[in-house]
Amino acid sequence: MSTDSKNMNTTTENGLPTILPDLSAHQTEGDVDRLRLIENGQVIPAVIHEDINDEDIILEINKLNLWYGNAQALYDITFEVPRGKVTSLIGPSGCGKSTMLRCVNRINDLIDSVRIEGDMIIDGDSIFAPGVDVIELRKRMGMVFQKPNPFPMSIYENVVYPLRIDGVRDRAELDEVCERSLRGAALWDEVKDRLRESGLSLSGGQQQRLCIARAIASDPEMLLLDEPCSALDPVATAKIEELIQNLSGDYSILIVTHNMQQASRLSDYTAFMYLGNLIEFGPTYKIFSKPETKETEDYVTGRFG
Amino acid sequence: MSNELNNPFAATDQERQAREKEKFIKLSTQLITWLLVIPVVAIIVFLVYKSWPALSVEFITENPKVRMTAGGIWAPLIGTFFLVLVSLIIAAPIGILAGVYLNEFARDNWLTRFINLAVVNLAGVPSIVHGLFGLGAFVYFLGMDRCLLAASCTVAVMTLPVIITSTKEALASVPMAFRVACWNMGATKWQTIRTIVLPNSISGILTGVILQVARAAGETAPILFTGAMISSRVADSGWDAWVPYGLEDRFMALSYHLYIISTQWQNVPESFKFGTAAVMIGLVIAVNSISIGFRIYLRSRKKW
Ligand SMILES: Nc1ncnc2c1ncn2[C@@H]1O[C@H](COP(=O)(O)OP(=O)(O)O)[C@@H](O)[C@H]1O
Ligand SMILES: [Mg+2]
């Protein structure tokens, strides 16, 4: 492996020193400017690191295209999400991260203008197959949003809501799930004495953990987190991050984040998207330390986005 | 003086003028607002003063006697009660269901927009037109003849658009984030509505319905041709005094009664006319107070 000195220890335009990874070995396509090509409407195949082939796969995304009316929001997205790990989606605002996440539990179906081509396969079954009941699919996914959205009811009822809609009446079972989920969301000790109080009486960070408790109450296979910390202060963010790390293993987590440090701290795999295209997908440490494309490198080092 | 000149925060002439102007605008808007209260107070004071000789428990509980030169207003009062009751039993479920459909299920297409436009326009139709519509549709076309049911249906049609609109508003005030959270957990739209949307909007919906009580009780035109009668024999006591009219009977009502004794009959004591008006206004104020109290309670409980 030869080293191209111009990529080593350079400084950015604003004069701050950055430590740049050795790119020469990975710059397979020479000086192709992917971003320009994508902006001009071309679809570029993503760079997928080989490492994913050694993983146990829970979700396989296959040539996924999505349109809102006439505007295409996702272009030929293909990658695989490993089981029991944290996979983060990064990319500039509006690049389709949330849209991607909303495909996984088919909540996009509720938007009339959405049209989807391609496939998503969970545990070998297509989620778009004719026999798939979206209600059942959504119960197997837990979704958490940027802004905490607990219901205006008691903490207890918030957590057991997914069981309530399934018609579960058994007090013991509800109590059991409530405690297990709140413990799972690292909230039990803080709220165990006030389960009857409104979920809205909690602080923002506690509300978000309540939402995570609610999301794991029905014991889903995947957790879909859409910028779960961006409305929270640093202390609450740290707690949620710790929680996400503890939850991985039991759950396969797909998290959208704006925060590069968060993606690099939390996730095992990272997908970098740009204008509806997947640019690069691979193990997080590689994406952040020796990405194969210059565009990923520019983005993770904060040079654009 | 020199102090003022040196003070960097001293007001400039322009700022002083702006402040004067603001004071003037505030005072004049305040005055106009206070003036608004005068007619309301004047009407109530005038009514109570004029009706004072007639107002008594008997005035409420006794039937009109000798062409309303004696007795009270029981027969029209209970008639109005049943008119309001039956019309809301018809209008409230239909209006609430339509509001739920329009706000929660309907897609934004030309049909939905057309329905919404129709609802808005229906709310603006004058009550006399509703009366004539009721005469044509319920009395003649559906062959109900003039009766409590036909009048109630007419009043129901009149109150329906407002109930639909207030239901839609109450539903729309429930944050979208709650619904999105439900759907993501695999709740159906109906489960979402039943468990989250309705419990958080029911007080607003009911407030809208209650406000229609005053409207249903007050209007004369819709019942004029569809079932109200000038006078009917109503029992003075017992079960028949409480339920004097069946759905197929013609009935007396306060608004129509007031119209008749004020314009058609002679020798009705002045205090009886004003007494009838005072009772009507009293009922409206009572019902509206309930709904305002309800709304205050609701606002104090609102948690987002
Ligand atoms: N409901 C929608 N209707 C139409 N266009 C949408 C909708 N939601 C998102 N978009 C568009 O799709 C693109 C991707 O949006 P989004 O997935 O929210 O991006 P991100 O989460 O990465 O910021 C944007 O251009 C956005 O304007
Ligand atoms: Mg987003």
Instruction: Please report the atom of ligand 1 found closest to the CA of residue A89.
Output: 22
Around Cβ A30, how many Cβ atoms within 10 Å?
Answer: 5
What number is the average pLDDT over the span A283-305? Answer: 88
Nearest residue by C-alpha to atom 3 in ligand 1: A68
A71: which 2 tokens? 């505007």
With an 8 Å Cβ cutoff, are A143 and B188 in contact? Answer: no
ipTM: 0.83
Greater model confidence, A209 or B303: A209
Which residue ranges make up each domain of chain B?
Answer: 2-35, 49-301
Quote the minimal CA–CA distance from B36 to chain A in Å: 39
Task: Report how far residue A250's alpha carbon sits from residue A245's, in angstroms, rounded to the nearest whole number.
Answer: 10
A218 touches chain B (CB under 8 A): yes
Residue B21: half-sphere exposure toward Cβ, Cα within 13 Å: 6
Among A296-300, B147-151, B222-226, B295-299, the least confident range? B295-299
Quote the minimal CA–CA distance from A273 to chain B in Å: 24
Nearest residue by C-alpha to atom 20 in ligand 1: A94
Phi, psi of B118, deg, nearest 5: -60, -40
Task: Report how far residue B110's alpha carbon sits from residue B127's, in angstroms, rounded to the nearest whole number.
Answer: 28
Rg (CA), chain A: 21
Around Cβ B119, how many Cβ atoms within 10 Å?
Answer: 20
Model confidence pLDDT, tens digit, residues B45-75: 999 999 998 888 889 888 888 777 788 899 9
Model confidence pLDDT, tens digit, residues B174-218: 999 999 999 999 999 999 999 999 999 988 898 889 989 988 999
Cα–ligand 2 centroid distance for A142 (angstroms): 17
- The mean of the pLDDT values for chain B is 90
Task: Report how far residue A292's alpha carbon sits from residue A51's, in angstroms, rounded to the nearest whole number.
Answer: 13
Interface size, chain A vs chain B, as Cβ–Cβ contacts under 8 Å: 58
Instruction: Please report the atom of ligand 1 found closest to the CA of residue A276.
Output: 14
Task: Report how far residue A253's alpha carbon sits from residue A249's, in angstroms, rounded to the nearest whole number.
Answer: 9
Nearest residue by C-alpha to atom 2 in ligand 1: A68
A28, pLDDT greater than 50:
no
A162 touches chain B (CB under 8 A): yes
**Torsional class of A61: left (φ above 0), alpha (ψ -120 to 50), beta (otherwise):** beta
A105 touches chain B (CB under 8 A): yes
What number is the average pLDDT over the span B253-276? Answer: 90
* CATH code for the domain defined by B49-301: 1.10.3720.10
B151: which 2 tokens? 């009048």
DSSP SS3 for A132: coil
Residue type, A266: L
Model confidence pLDDT, tens digit, residues A221-269: 999 999 999 988 898 899 899 999 999 989 999 999 988 999 999 999 9
Q: Which of A101, A127, A135 to mutate to test the interface with B (most CBs of B within 10 A)?
A: A135
Ligand 1 contacts CB of residue A96 (under 6 A): yes
pLDDT tier for residue A21 given thresholds of 50, 70 and 90: very low
Residue type, A236: A
Ligand 1 contacts CB of residue A70 (under 6 A): no
Greater model confidence, B295 or B171: B171
Task: Report how far residue B163's alpha carbon sits from residue B43's, in angstroms, rounded to the nearest whole number.
Answer: 28
Quote the minimal CA–CA distance from A191 to chain B in Å: 19
Taking the model in full, what pTM does it have?
0.82
Query: What's A45's DSSP letter?
Result: P
Ligand 1 contacts CB of residue A257 (under 6 A): no
A13, pLDDT greater than 60:
no
Cα–ligand 2 centroid distance for A47 (angstroms): 23
Residue type, B131: G
Around Cβ B139, how many Cβ atoms within 10 Å?
Answer: 20
3-state secondary structure chain B: CHHHHHCCCCCCHHHHHHHHHHHHHHHHHHHHHHHHHHHHHHHHHHHHHHHCCCCCHHHHHCCEECCCCEECCHHHHHHHHHHHHHHHHHHHHHHHHHHHHHHHHCCCCHHHHHHHHHHHHHHCCCHHHHHHHHHHHHHHHCCCCCCHHHHHHHHHHHHHHHHHHHHHHHHHCCCHHHHHHHHHCCCCHHHHHHHHHCCCCHHHHHHHHHHHHHHHHHCCHHHHCCCECCCCCCCCCCHHHHCCCCCCCCECCHHHHHHHHHHCCCCCCHHHHHHHHHHHHHHHHHHHHHHHHHHHHHHHHCCC
Task: Answer yes or no: are the C-beta atoms of A88 and A266 closer than 8 Å.
Answer: yes
A7, pLDDT greater than 60:
no
Per cent of chain B over pLDDT 90 is 65
Those residues with Cβ within 8 angstroms of residue A96's Cβ, 6 or more apart along the chain or in another chain: A66, A73, A74, A273, A275, A276
Q: Which of B174, B185, B191, B301 to mutate to test the interface with A (most CBs of A within 10 A)?
A: B185
User: What part of B 149-208 touches A (C-beta under 8 Å)?
Assistant: 175, 177-178, 180-188, 191, 195-196, 200
Quote the minimal CA–CA distance from B38 to chain A in Å: 42
Ligand 1 contacts CB of residue A94 (under 6 A): yes
Around Cβ B90, how many Cβ atoms within 10 Å?
Answer: 18
Ligand 1 contacts CB of residue A73 (under 6 A): yes
Cα–ligand 1 centroid distance for A259 (angstroms): 19
Tell me, what's the pLDDT at A9? 42
Cβ neighbours of B107 in A, within 8 Å = 112
